[in-house]
Amino acid sequence: MELIHVDTFGPERMQDSKSLGGSKYGLVLVDDFTKHVWVKLLLRKSDAIKSIKSFCLQASTRLPDLPISRVRTDGALKFKSADLHAFWLNRGVTHEVTARYSPQSNGVAERNIRTLTEMTRTMLIAASLPTFFWPAAVETAVRIKNRVTASGLKEGKTPHEMLFGKPPAPEDFRPFGCVAWAKKASTERHGKFDPKARPCVYLGPAFRGASCLWDPATEKEIVEHSVIFDDHQDASALVDPGVRTAADNRRTGDRQRDSPSGTSCCEHSTTILKGETSLDPSVMDDAYIQHQHQQSH
């Protein structure tokens, strides 16, 4: 990680709108050699300083043999703070500032922002989800981008493999924004006929087989292990209309007009999947699950 390209981005006209976790901006960091990308979500642009320092400290701990020598940014004032300058000076990092009015000088960061923005937009449109969910979509986009081959890398390796020296662990990616049924704890059920699961919005893999979901009942992010997915049904109906903007409604109308067959765009998304599953909510019934298990064996 000899050279890191850094820049910030923020969805246009979204700074005054609600978003998942309250994020308004993102900080993009790109390793020049491996093409590996990181995104740090920000509540304010001024939080970029704290996030850059945190990234450098984490990188030195996790990758001690790959020290950061140079950091390249544009000339924004947030990157010229005395606090950040002292931090870089103390760690022996050279801060390179690109020429004014010349965004192409920081082209690596700019191109990655454009790619991630397009991936994020595509996932939101495919799932008919409002821009409220852009923070989760951009994190999923980064995860995917680091796990597919990139131009300029030798032997068809992925950025993850170039940086860490080994292929990424297999992950069970599902279409972003599909319906995910999270199993209810026994204490959450009030009778034998109460549903055994609650429908949620799938936001991406979490860790060790867990999934990150958005629970419409509480309007909060949750992490669950016991989840059944419906890959072919988007979860847009679960989202309260209050989180949608006028732009979201226009975009949904465009999507419906552009899909003559009425088929969900989730079915055509380029998400990496480990197998296909199209399930009814009744899958959480114990007898049905047992039947499916027997059929698969």
**What is the rounded distance in angstroms from the CA atom of residue 109 to the CA atom of residue 36?**
11
Task: Give domain limits for the chain.
Answer: 3-120, 178-296
Confidence class of residue 154 from pLDDT cuts 50, 70 and 90? confident
Confidence class of residue 246 from pLDDT cuts 50, 70 and 90? low
Q: Decide the pairing of beta strands 25-31 and 37-42.
A: antiparallel
Where in the chain does DSSP place strands (E)? 3-9, 25-31, 37-42, 70-73, 94-97, 178-183, 197-205, 211-215, 220-224, 227-234
Bridge partners, residue 26, by sequence: 9, 41
Q: Which amino acid is at 294?
A: Q
**What is the rounded distance in angstroms from the CA atom of residue 132 to the CA atom of residue 234?**
15
DSSP code of 191? Answer: S
Residue 291 has pLDDT above 60, yes or no: no
Rg for the chain, CA atoms, rounded: 21
Assess contact for 177 and 237: CB atoms under 8 A: no
* pLDDT higher at 11 or 151: 151
pTM of the predicted structure, to 2 decimals: 0.79
CATH superfamily of 3-120: Ribonuclease H-like superfamily/Ribonuclease H (3.30.420.10)
**What is the rounded distance in angstroms from the CA atom of residue 199 to the CA atom of residue 283?**
12
pLDDT score recorded for residue 253: 58
Of 8, 1, 109, give the one whose Cα is nearest residue 59: 1
Residue 255 has pLDDT above 70, yes or no: no
Question: Which position has the token pair 């093409």?
Answer: 35
**What is the rounded distance in angstroms from the CA atom of residue 11 to the CA atom of residue 15?**
7
Q: What are phi and psi of 168, to 5 degrees?
A: -70, 150
Residue 287 has pLDDT above 60, yes or no: no
Q: What is the mean pLDDT of the chain?
A: 81
**What is the rounded distance in angstroms from the CA atom of residue 84 to the CA atom of residue 285?**
55
Q: Which amino acid is at 60?
A: S
**What is the rounded distance in angstroms from the CA atom of residue 126 to the CA atom of residue 104?**
31
* pLDDT higher at 243 or 48: 48
For the stretch 46-86, pLDDT in tens is 899 999 999 999 999 999 889 999 999 998 888 999 999 99
- C-alpha dist (Å) from residue 195 to 17, 35, 191, 233: 34, 46, 9, 19
For the stretch 9-57, pLDDT in tens is 986 555 557 899 999 999 999 999 999 999 999 999 889 999 999 999 9
DSSP code of 173? Answer: -
For the stretch 162-199, pLDDT in tens is 999 998 887 778 999 999 999 988 777 777 778 889 99
